[in-house]
Structure formats: C-alpha cells, structure tokens
Amino acid sequence: MLNRLQQIPWGFVVTCAAITIIGLCGLVRADQLYGASRLFERQVVWLLLSWPAMLLVTQIPYRSLRSFSMPFYLVCLALLVLTLFMPPVNGSRRWIPLGLFDFQPSEPARLAFILALAFFLMHRENYRSLAGLLPPLIMTVVPLLLVLKEPDLGTAMLFLPVMYAMIIAAGARMKHIIAISLAGLALVPVLWWQMSAEQRSRVVTVFTQRDGGPAPSGDGFHLHQSKQVLALGGAWGSIWQAEPLTDDPAAWQLPAARTDFIFCMIGERYGIPGCILLLSLYSILVVRGLLAAMRTREPFGRLVAVGIVAMLATQVVINTGMTVGLMPITGITLPLCSYGGSSLLSTSIAMGLLINISMRPGYEVTGEPFVRRMSDSGFGLKQQNSL
C-alpha cells in the first residue's frame, strides 16, 4: 500500500487540487455577489468524500474492472431509464432522490460508457470495417438519447467526441470515420426533433445573440449576463478594482453562478490571468493524460485513458465556450471546479482511474503492446496480440 502511494504521480494530484481550490474561490466570490450560502461548506464536504475515493481508485488494479465494465454500463442505462420517471425538478428529470441527496445517473453513466466501449474495442478488428463501427455507434447513441430526453444537452454532447477519440485510438480507418460522420450529419434533423423546445432555443440563441443594450428575455438572458459579468471584472479582475464598475444589481445578476457559470465568477474576480491559469491547469491534465495513454502497453488501459481525457477536454470546451457565446447554454458543469456533489465525485473517480493507468503502464502477464500502424487508408493504434 505504501509503495503504491509512493508511485502516485503527485504532480497530477496537485493539478487537480489547484483546480478545486480555484473553484472554491469562485464559490466565495458568488457568495460575495449574491449573498451567503451553505454551498461552500457543502462543496468542502464533497471534497472530503471525493478525494479519498480518487486515491482509493488508484490502489485497485484497473484491469480488474474489465469484467465489470459491461454490467456497469447496462446498470447505468437502466438508471437513466428510471430517471425519466422521476418527478421533474425545474422542468428536468435528471436526478433520483435518495433522501439525503439527489443522485444524477448521467454522471457515472459517462464513465461506464468509456469502460464498456474500451472493453468492446480492446481485442477486436471488426471496427476497422465500416459495418464494424455500428456496435460502438449504437453503444454511444443509446445513452446519448436517454440523457437528451431528460433533457440534458450538455452531457449528451460528450458522448460522440469520446467515441470518436476512442475508435481512432483503437485503430479505426479514417475513411470509415469520415463516412460514418457524414451519415451522422444526415441524422441531425432527427437529433433536432428529439431536442426539447428549450434546447432548440438555446442553440438558436448562439446565432442570434447581440452584445450591449438591455438584457433580452428568455434563453438569451443567461448568455447575455454571463458575458456581461465577465466584462465587469475587466482584464485584470475585480480583485484589483477599488470600486465596482456599476452599482446596478441587475447588471450582476447571473443564475447558476455557482454551478454552470462558475467560470464567470473566476473570470470576473481574477480577470484574464485567472482564466488563463485555470485553462492551463486543464491543459496540463489533458497532456499528462495523453502521455499516460501513450505509455500504456495494455489496450484496455490505453483506451480508457483516451476516453477520460476526451471527456474532460470536451466538457471544459463546452462549459467555457458557452460562457462567452461560442457554444449553446447546455447546463454542463466545469469539472472539479463547479459546485455539485455527483459531478465532483464522478470526475474525481475518473481522475483516480487515469492516475491508476499511469501507475501501471506495462503488462502484468505476457502480451504485446499496441504499435502505431500507418496505412494509405487510415491510421491508428493496433494491437498485435491479445492477452
């Protein structure tokens, strides 16, 4: 046990800790602007639960998860179906009430999807054909549609980028990926039809947004206010301002400032340097995660690492993009930073699994590693022999 703790890449852990500290600073700023709350204390409690869980995950050989990946995936699908029958909260059915707290199945479902897809891809060659890409696509679309039905557009947007990253890492041919992408574009009208009226409105708002002037009504209000609050902090942040730029309470109004828009709180308080620091920390996690994937000789671990990195990067891009008007308002949290117990716990476990993989890069039994394989029809990583 002590030996394993010494093998933990503590630079990775420190980076995660720095992101959570910045998130706590954002919660403090939200309390200053919008009144005291107990969310800071609750987030600290969730941190006290999440960090031991992350460190515990690092001590369990990740290869033991292979046999549980498909059952875990199916259980999460069942929970997603069950969620649709729960009482709505603010018009959404995303949570299962458990008394002391509400459980959000879409959070563990993302990790279950990565584990199941990695297990499916690790020893197969059929995904190098066009027809062989259909099973991974089905495994992706089913949870995507269930999450979209809740509705939760932000989480639903994570599944496809993760799938593409994993099948490319597994060695799928690029011409087949392009073909299936073009086929997917033909299904966009179906996806649009599956969206709720509110989700469609949020997408349209991105293309009809206007800067300046009074705040619009409807879905455009959140986007207008998020950009305005960021601007009120100035280039260097309000921490260096002797007085606020305006004393109009309406100018500072920002719903979900502690969750979906925590990036605005950080940008308003610490300006461009604070935003750059936070994005740099996420970049460090992505780079370290990709390096861990490249060094891992075991196929399941490599694919899981790629999936977790793709999920983290996509979530950061979507959340930060929506605050500045580049993406629709989707209701997705900023990983390790936003307030939220289910999100923080599931992301911490995913980071623990990524650390776990980086600690065990080699085979524990005989076998051959992935080798890079280039051809005139595609590229990817191919396994020579399976365990």
Report percent pLDDT > 70 for the chain: 90
pLDDT tens figures, 11-50: 899 999 999 999 999 999 999 999 888 899 999 999 999 9
d(CA 331, CA 319): 8
* Token duo for residue 39: 């969310």
Tokens representing 226 are 């998020």
> Which residues, at least 6 apart from 237, have a Cβ–Cβ distance to it below 8 Å?
267, 268, 269, 270, 271, 272, 273, 274
Above 60 in pLDDT, residue 384? no
Q: Among 98, 63, 66, 51, which Cα is nearest to 79's?
A: 98
Residue type, 322: M
CA distance 106 to 289: 23
CB–CB of 206/214 below 8 Å? no
Identify the residue with better confidence: 103 or 83: 83
pLDDT, tens digit, 9 for 90 and up, residues 264-303: 999 999 999 999 999 999 999 999 999 999 998 889 999 9
Phi, psi torsion values for 371, nearest 5 degrees? -130, 145
pLDDT computed for residue 365 by the predictor: 44
Q: Worst-scoring range by mean pLDDT, 240-244, 290-294, 315-319?
A: 240-244
Q: What's the pLDDT score for residue 128? A: 66
Q: How high is the pLDDT of residue 377? A: 39
Q: Is there a contact between 384 and 371 (Cβ–Cβ < 8 Å)?
A: yes
Prior bond to 189 cis, omega within 30?
A: no
DSSP letter for 11, please: H
Please report which confidence band the pLDDT of residue 331 belongs to, taking 50, 70 and 90 as the band edges.
confident
Query: What letter represents residue 247's amino acid?
Result: D
Contact 383, 370 (CB under 8 A): yes
All residues at 6 or more sequence positions from 160 whose CB lies less than 8 Å from its CB, including other chains: 140, 144, 184
CB 373 within 8 A of CB 305: no
In contact, 342 and 103? CB cutoff 8 Å: yes
Q: Which residues, other chains included, contact 257 with Cβ-Cβ below 8 Å and sequence gap of 6+?
A: 30, 33, 34, 229, 264, 265
Q: How far is Cα 150 from Cα 104, in angstroms, rounded to an integer? A: 11
